[in-house]
Amino acid sequence: MQVNVTVDCTPEEARRFLGLPDVSQANEIYGKALADAMKGVGSFDQLQEMAKQIAPMGQFGLKLFQQMLESGAAMSGATGKGKSRD
């Protein structure tokens, strides 16, 4: 037996329902700081150095995150291979 549930709500409603904190103000501050920092970037080398400061784990962090997502998908049995979601 398979049961599908569709929930129609805004991201704000979902955030409140799940009890997650409101980080919109922090996101606005971060976005403004990032935009201000990008104004001073004049070359690819400066951009690369800024990216290293923003994401200190760089490629390793992205690979670790990818592995975590793949492990979660494997545990749930939802690999997406050969299955149609019609």
The pLDDT mean for the chain works out to: 76
Whether the Cβ atoms of residue 80 and residue 73 lie closer than 8 Å to each other: yes
pLDDT at 77 over 60: yes
pLDDT digit string (tens) for 28-40?
A: 887 887 777 777 7
Residue 14 CA: distances (Å) to CA of 5, 8, 9, 10, 11: 14, 9, 6, 6, 5
pTM of the model as a whole: 0.40
Distance in angstroms (rounded) separating the CA atoms of residues 53 and 44: 14
Q: How confident is the model at residue 54 (pLDDT cuts 50, 70, 90)?
A: low
